[in-house]
Structure 1
């Protein structure tokens, strides 16, 4: 029986992923970088392997595969989807929108909305916010939130500073609505600080600095890493400083906004950057090892896909049950950060 307090609330219905078949292991990397042993790579990153897209894979093909996995495993039909949100920083083209290509490939009705949004490590939380708004304002009933990242396309093979960290992956999340008194996705907090934009960047390839002959000229840094202006550059020390300063404050604001305390949170899933950063963040935020879930060992840093991959892994391992409150927080490139509480 419906009560006066029941209103339409968005919730996560199911999550699935797609991982490229190609796997780059620490053993392979150690053969290419003799100065770094298998043990040293793992000690520095906490990562054992990462999936790398093959030459014929694209942002759209990976997103499509993740959506098909979600449809097949959860008896969802493409015609039920009425909105596609695709988070990526490695789109198929500068234009058209990759979400439009995905709509066609999945045979989702032409009445569906579809858009890309360009965000990295914070993107999944932003996507949850957009999906919640669409559903609770009754603009959509079933939103397909996709993340698809191929950072490997931007990485110079002679740059071990980032090649050891990043992996490729795509995920699909179905967000629906139901009448309830419970807030299933809430406590949102967002943050932006563009002064850190140059600390994680692909300098050339956009409209400001289009590709040119200069874009492909390689330089070597003090650590022997080679890259060009068309490759990914990361200032790891600055990213770490930013994360350790920003994330703990954001977590406090999320809990306050959700009217919760740390002990009310069953699980915590942060953006899976690397072991060193996450170990420090867990200590600074005060969560226990039991609360704090990790998934970077087998995937590496998969940017916007890292949080949903963590959710999917927790489901498979039986670490999420109905009623669990999960605090999720993404942070990085932009600088951009965002977090919220998801009730399972």
Structure 2
């Protein structure tokens, strides 16, 4: 039994915020300097009444149309999101109904961020290998921008909203290889929204300065950029080596790399540490920003459209971030 990617599509909201728009809020900001470092010129923002579930639905519809997929043939739905429509039920259950997928299909959400696409591929492969499903609809959707404080110019410059859809099946154009996954919950405070869950149900309006004198709000997304950067430089090079070992291939056997599109500076640093050539390493978040769990699928789709990835290639994909968590796999096109 093998598992394959059979189709990839995505959806981006219509509203676009450019760096010039951000300068209106932060006139002291050097837009050229920041854009050069993070690699983002513009990002898409979900409308006020547009949820992650809405975006996932649109990404799935795009997938169905592009690949002539009959939703009646889907027997499992996975939705990766940290901004679900409700605390309960799972947004995936709502999508089963909206997309016309049979009631015999399984469906659930899983709460994960930047590594979520890779984790979803692993779950989907497991479902197929176990004989539980034959056609798994993997959806990733996030509206991080709704959880950013208006004064948080750093994160507002990086993150954008978006959704992606991928059909994982018993046949397709990219065989899914062996996974390496990891978790370190001791770093949970490095990327967090403290209020809104059972631990801190009500908003606190509390704000404090971290050690780098960045404002940390309980009620909005907080990211300790320097600690996340350090974590990434510790985890990803080792992840890179483990993926090669797990898939029994050498570095020279990998034709292309699509890593989570965190920001340009971080990606270039990873590339240099892992000693990877520019022409084999994907970086393109100028018009989307960091779309969290959707960056890998958006990147793979972009590479397929522009023929950076063609049949016969071995492609390494990785995700890393909130959790702290990380994961990677080899895709054989």
TM, length-normalised to structure 2: 0.96
Tell me the residue number matched to 1:3: none
Question: Which residue of 113, 118, 121 maps to 1:125?
Answer: 118
Shift of 1:105: 0.8
Question: Is this contact kept in 1: 2:5–2:171, CA < 8 A?
Answer: no
Equivalent-residue separation in structure 1 for 2:210 and 2:234 (angstroms): 27
Q: In the superposition, relative to structure 1, how do residues 169 and 228 fare at CA in structure 2: closer, same or farther (>3 Å)?
A: same
Q: Which runs of no fewer than 5 residues in structure 2 stay unpaired?
A: none
- Supply the RMSD in Å over aligned alpha carbons: 1.7
Question: Is this contact kept in 1: 2:6–2:171, CA < 8 A?
Answer: no
Query: What are the superposed Cα offsets for residues 261-293 of structure 1, whole Å, 9 maximum, x if unpaired?
Result: 111111101110001100000011111111101
Q: In the superposition, relative to structure 1, how do residues 51 and 223 fare at CA in structure 2: closer, same or farther (>3 Å)?
A: farther
Question: Is this contact kept in 1: 2:6–2:174, CA < 8 A?
Answer: no
1:211 maps onto 2:202 in alignment: yes
1:78 maps onto 2:67 in alignment: no
Equivalent-residue separation in structure 1 for 2:34 and 2:158 (angstroms): 9
Question: Which residue of 150, 154, 158 maps to 2:151?
Answer: 158
Equivalent-residue separation in structure 1 for 2:292 and 2:308 (angstroms): 22
Tell me the residue number matched to 1:246: 235
Secondary structure of residue in 1 paired with 2:78 = strand
Secondary structure of residue in 2 paired with 1:339 = strand
Mapping 1:191-230, distance limit 5 Å: 191-212=182-203, 214=204, 216-218=205-207, 228-230=217-219
Q: In the superposition, relative to structure 1, how do residues 240 and 224 fare at CA in structure 2: closer, same or farther (>3 Å)?
A: closer
Tell me the residue number matched to 1:315: 304
Mapping 1:37-186, distance limit 5 Å: 37-178=30-171, 184-186=175-177
Shift of 1:99: 0.3
Runs of 4+ in 1 over 4 A off after TM superposition: 217-227
Equivalent-residue separation in structure 2 for 1:75 and 1:171 (angstroms): 17
Query: What are the superposed Cα offsets for residues 75-128 of structure 1, whole Å, 9 maximum, x if unpaired?
Result: 001111110000011111111101001111101110000011111111111100
Secondary structure of residue in 2 paired with 1:298 = coil
Secondary structure of residue in 1 paired with 2:257 = strand
Shift of 1:297: 1.3
Mapping 1:273-312, distance limit 5 Å: 273-312=262-301
Q: In the superposition, relative to structure 1, how do residues 254 and 222 fare at CA in structure 2: closer, same or farther (>3 Å)?
A: closer
Count of matched residue pairs: 333
Shift of 1:221: 6.7
Q: Which runs of no fewer than 5 residues in structure 1 stay unpaired?
A: 1-7
Secondary structure of residue in 1 paired with 2:158 = coil
Shift of 1:37: 2.5
Tell me the residue number matched to 1:5: none
Query: What are the superposed Cα offsets for residues 201-221 of structure 1, whole Å, 9 maximum, x if unpaired?
Result: 001110000123x2x345567
Tell me the residue number matched to 2:178: 187
Q: In the superposition, relative to structure 1, how do residues 300 and 183 fare at CA in structure 2: closer, same or farther (>3 Å)?
A: closer
Equivalent-residue separation in structure 2 for 1:262 and 1:90 (angstroms): 37
Tell me the residue number matched to 2:326: 337
Shift of 1:174: 0.4
Equivalent-residue separation in structure 1 for 2:214 and 2:201 (angstroms): 23
